[in-house]
Amino acid sequence: MKLLEFQGKKLFKEYGIPVPQGIVIEKKEDLKDIDIPFPWVMKAQVLVGGRGKAGGIKFANNMEEAIKNFEELITMEIKGEKVRKVLIEEKLRIEKEYYLSFFIDRSSRKYLMMFSFEGGVDIEAMAEKVMKIYVNPLIGLQPYHLRKLPKEVREIAKKLFQLFIEKDCELAEINPLVISNGLAIAADSKIIIDNNSIYRHEDLPKEDIELTPLEREAKEKRIAFVQLEGNIGVIANGAGLTMATLDALNEFDGKGGVFLDLGGTDDPEKVKQAFELMAKAKPKVILLNLFGGITKCDTVAKGIIEFLQENKINCPVIARIKGMNEEKARQMLKEYVIPIESFKEAAKKAAELGG
């Protein structure tokens, strides 16, 4: 789970990491209540990088500029993500900019602390200038690790590592870590929490900021549903078969735009809900790839028929069905779908219709 900048900075404050004075707002009317001296830095709150280059960070010297900037920021869409909140902060007098982060390096099975004497944008382009310090997870961060850093950032590094461990982070990053009036301050934050650990952290935000409205609806119904950029809707049962179906479509230059995993269910009501979600996504074609092991194919077919009888769907449905009661399911669906027995041919046909 990714946190927005202001959420990450809230965690920083809890761990004693200095951050600029700031407040997050959603409405223009809230600007008049901000008790921060000008000049301001106004930052669009999105989960994607590169917002500075996209115009998502602006400066205001007075209220007139702040209103104009807010109106521009709140209507922006950066890399497909709509801006819903704006962070207003004091503008710092920057003397130096550093880069500091901790993340899990799976290849070495260790934590990796990364530090650079040059922070800010385009840190990826300066890989050769980044100091890499590996930390044994059984021992943790030690004084000899910290001695490799400038004195003014060592205490920040200790606190960032503590946050990284205690909050089950995959990444904890400060870029830039600025020196302002001799004090190290986290001018930005990037925090990614391991999704598998969310249940341990009641204090973390529960907003599904990364989810689309349909993905959020699917989550409420406990259906695994992901929206991508393609125009083919995939419904399969089981994560392996779902991913294999997307791979097969890719072989024929087809782009899966939505994929939905039925899991092991053959509950007709769940199947109907799945098709309702898929229909709302408006794909050009739906590819149903069903393997009935525990799942009964005819029960799934019943749910599909009930949905199609009650709702008009404006795209063809290709069905490749194998497993328990497959013949019965094919007979039930023959008037509603395009039946294809071969996995390869079904993927090829879906890619053609979705092109």
CB atoms within 10 A of CB 346: 23
Instruction: Give residue 132's domain range.
Output: 96-200
CA dist., res. 265 & res. 267, Å (int)? 6
- What is the CATH classification number for the domain harbouring 346? 3.40.50.261
Kindly state whether residues 30 and 117 are assigned to the same domain. no
- pLDDT over threshold 70, residue 122: no
**pLDDT single digits (tens) 140-168:** 999 999 999 999 999 999 999 999 999 99
Catalytic residue among 5, 89, 98, 99: 99
Neighbouring residues of 335: CB distance < 8 A, sequence distance ≥ 6 = none
| pLDDT number for residue 240 | 86
Does residue 139 sit within a domain? yes
pTM of the model: 0.68
Q: Is 14 a catalytic residue?
A: no
Give the lowest-confidence range in 41-45, 106-110, 182-186, 246-250. Answer: 246-250
Beta strands in the chain (DSSP E): 2-3, 22-25, 40-44, 57-60, 77-78, 81-82, 86-90, 96-105, 110-116, 131-135, 169-180, 183-186, 190-193, 224-227, 232-236, 256-261, 285-292, 317-323, 338-339
| pLDDT number for residue 110 | 97
| pLDDT number for residue 173 | 97
Residue with tokens 């986290």: 186
Does residue 13 sit within a domain? no
| pLDDT number for residue 209 | 57
Does residue 205 sit within a domain? no
Identify the domain boundary among 200, 229, 255.
200
For residue 338, the SS3 value is strand
Does residue 113 sit within a domain? yes
| pLDDT number for residue 204 | 84
Q: Are residues 84 and 26 in contact, defined by beta-carbon separation less than 8 angstroms?
A: yes
**pLDDT single digits (tens) 7-54:** 999 999 999 999 999 999 999 999 999 999 999 999 999 988 888 889
- pLDDT over threshold 70, residue 121: no
| pLDDT number for residue 341 | 87
Nearest to 264 by CA among 291, 244, 225, 243: 291
CA dist., res. 315 & res. 323, Å (int)? 26
CA dist., res. 32 & res. 141, Å (int)? 44
Identify the domain boundary among 39, 56, 90.
90
What pLDDT band is residue 223 in, cutting at 50, 70 and 90?
confident
- pLDDT over threshold 60, residue 180: yes
Kindly state whether residues 61 and 76 are assigned to the same domain. yes
| pLDDT number for residue 35 | 94
- For strands 256-261 and 232-236, give the pairing: parallel
Does residue 76 sit within a domain? yes
Kindly state whether residues 115 and 186 are assigned to the same domain. yes
Q: Is 99 a catalytic residue?
A: yes
| pLDDT number for residue 210 | 63
- What is the CATH classification number for the domain harbouring 170? 3.30.470.20
- pLDDT over threshold 80, residue 270: yes
| pLDDT number for residue 311 | 84
Beta strands in 204-316 (DSSP E): 224-227, 232-236, 256-261, 285-292
Kindly state whether residues 65 and 175 are assigned to the same domain. no
Does residue 14 sit within a domain? no
Kindly state whether residues 125 and 79 are assigned to the same domain. no
Exposed / middle / buried, residue 43 (Cβ in 10 Å: 0-12, 13-18, 19+):
buried
CA dist., res. 256 & res. 254, Å (int)? 7
- What is the CATH classification number for the domain harbouring 81? 3.30.1490.20
- pLDDT over threshold 60, residue 207: no
Query: What is the 8-class DSSP label of residue 92?
Result: P
Rg of the chain over Cα atoms, rounded to whole angstroms, equals: 25
Catalytic residue among 89, 173, 215, 326: 173
Does residue 148 sit within a domain? yes
Domain count, the chain: 3
What pLDDT band is residue 285 in, cutting at 50, 70 and 90?
very high
Kindly state whether residues 217 and 289 are assigned to the same domain. yes
Kindly state whether residues 156 and 286 are assigned to the same domain. no
Kindly state whether residues 170 and 226 are assigned to the same domain. no
In the chain, the percentage of residues whose pLDDT exceeds 70 is 96
Identify the domain boundary among 90, 108, 136.
90
Kindly state whether residues 76 and 103 are assigned to the same domain. no
Kindly state whether residues 44 and 69 are assigned to the same domain. yes
Kindly state whether residues 253 and 338 are assigned to the same domain. yes
Does residue 3 sit within a domain? no
Kindly state whether residues 277 and 220 are assigned to the same domain. yes
Q: Which two tokens stand for residue 104?
A: 């899990």
